[in-house]
Amino acid sequence: MVRWNFKHPVTFNIDCKVCGRHRQITCDLDDVESWKNGAFVKDCLNYLHSDQVELLVTGTCSDCLNDTLTNDH
């Protein structure tokens, strides 16, 4: 696991709204604020795994997102 040197580390505790699985996501508060101010999440939080980004943005883990996509009838 790569350790990042965050200026203002912030940890989000997020439970997937579909399966309820608990995840912790640590990132830099400055980057979160850039995102909230309209930057693309994949640009300002590009060090996060795409699973973590999905959870931050949608509140749904990648497993459940994949289920949703593949089971969409």
Site for Zn ion contains 56 (CB under 5 A): no
> Which residue reads 């459940």 in tokens?
64
C-alpha to C-alpha distance for 48 and 33, rounded to whole angstroms: 15
Pick the piece of the chain touching Zn ion (CB under 5 A) from 18-26, 30-38, 41-49, 51-59.
18-26
Considering the complex, what minimum distance in angstroms separates the CB of residue 72 from Zn ion?
Answer: 16
Task: Could you list the beta-strand ranges (E) of 1-73.
Answer: 9-15, 22-28
- Considering the complex, state which of residue 8 and residue 22 has its C-beta at the smaller distance from Zn ion: 22
CA-based radius of gyration for the chain: 13
What residues make contact with Zn ion under the rule CB under 5 A?
A: 16, 18-19, 61, 64
